[in-house]
């Protein structure tokens, strides 16, 4: 079991994507704000730098338009982009982390040891016994790579993320047949469109396939519906709003 509380509320990039209540995404301040609101899980985005270090950034480019992969970790740090190791050291011990690993086009060309998957497997292996982790990605090949290295990532569950409005009837069997632990669906996977599966059907079928269901960026109103339908975790931008809606 990945998520003990149903649904677990996960802070998207900390306290929410973009800037929320003054907290900029993927910063220590944003992660700490999520924890201060009672969240036991936060989500962050992982990328590799030019010198093969792992840094925290959602977008492939920096604020000045340069590619993250073309700058060293030191250069990125000067623009406020954190190293994974610094985040892990600063987070409170009880905070669990959903790590969204972002692959890049260079992963198709670089030597295997320099690719994002190899760097992530090595780094996350060091943290696997220190705090609860859940690794997700849009890239099924990266997840397969990590799954084949379960000996270095003991007890770390893996989940497939699917893109905006991606049909659930493709996402659920893809995650199940890859042998993963979870499927991470965008809210658009639940319609409304012709022949769209109901929220309850999707979640029930995923559970029958042995998958936990994570849904990313629901509104407070949709969070209530997803909770009723049995979603295991919700990755949210409006932390206070979702908590208030569920409490009501």
Q: What is the pLDDT of residues 170-181, one digit of tens each?
A: 999 999 999 999
Please write the tens of the pLDDT for every residue from 149-164: 988 899 999 999 999 9
Angle among Cα 164, 79, 71 to the nearest 5 degrees reads 80
Q: Which helix (H) or strand (E) holds 174?
A: helix 168-177
Give the number of other CB atoms < 10 A from CB of residue 112: 9
Contact criterion met (CB below 8 Å) for 146 and 123: no
Quick one: pLDDT at residue 152? 87
Please write the tens of the pLDDT for every residue from 115-132: 999 999 999 999 998 999
Quick one: pLDDT at residue 207? 98
Q: Cα torsion at 153, 159, 163, 166 (round to 10°)?
A: 150
CATH superfamily for domain 8-247: Phosphatidylinositol (PI) phosphodiesterase (3.20.20.190)
Quick one: pLDDT at residue 150? 86
Task: Please choose, from the candidates 163, 247, 162, 139, the residue with its C-alpha nearest in 3D space to the C-alpha of residue 211.
Answer: 162
Q: Which residues of the chain have pLDDT under 70?
A: 192-196
Residue 169: exposed, middle, or buried by beta-carbon count in 10 A (0-12, 13-18, 19+)? middle
Identify the bridge partners of residue 136 per DSSP, sorted by sequence position.
Answer: 100, 159
Q: What is the DSSP letter of 96?
A: E
pTM above 0.85, yes or no: yes
Residue 4: exposed, middle, or buried by beta-carbon count in 10 A (0-12, 13-18, 19+)? exposed
């Amino acid at each position: 079991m990945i998520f003990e509380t149903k649904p677990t509320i996960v802070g998207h990039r900390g306290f929410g994507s973009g800037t929320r209540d003054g907290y900029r995404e993927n910063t220590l301040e944003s992660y700490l704000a999520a924890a201060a609101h009672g969240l036991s899980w936060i989500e962050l985005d992982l990328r590799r730098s030019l010198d093969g270090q792992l840094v925290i950034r959602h977008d492939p480019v920096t604020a000045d338009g340069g590619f993250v992969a073309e700058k060293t970790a030191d250069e990125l740090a000067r623009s406020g982009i954190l190293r994974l190791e610094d985040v892990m050291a600063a987070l409170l011990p009880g905070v669990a982390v959903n790590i969204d690993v972002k692959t890049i086009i260079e992963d198709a060309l670089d030597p295997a040891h320099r690719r994002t998957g190899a760097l992530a497997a090595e780094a996350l292996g060091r943290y696997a016994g220190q705090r609860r982790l859940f690794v997700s990605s849009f890239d099924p090949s990266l997840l397969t790579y990590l799954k084949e290295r379960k000996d270095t990532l003991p007890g770390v569950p893996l989940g497939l993320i699917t893109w905006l409005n991606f049909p659930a009837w493709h996402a659920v069997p893809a995650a199940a047949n890859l042998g993963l632990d979870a499927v991470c669906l965008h809210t658009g996977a639940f319609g409304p469109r012709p022949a769209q599966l109901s929220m309850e059907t999707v979640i029930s079928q995923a559970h029958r396939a042995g998958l936990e269901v994570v849904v990313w960026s629901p509104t407070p109103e949709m969070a209530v519906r997803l909770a009723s339908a049995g979603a295991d975790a919700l990755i949210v931008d409006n932390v206070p709003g979702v908590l208030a809606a569920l409490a009501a």
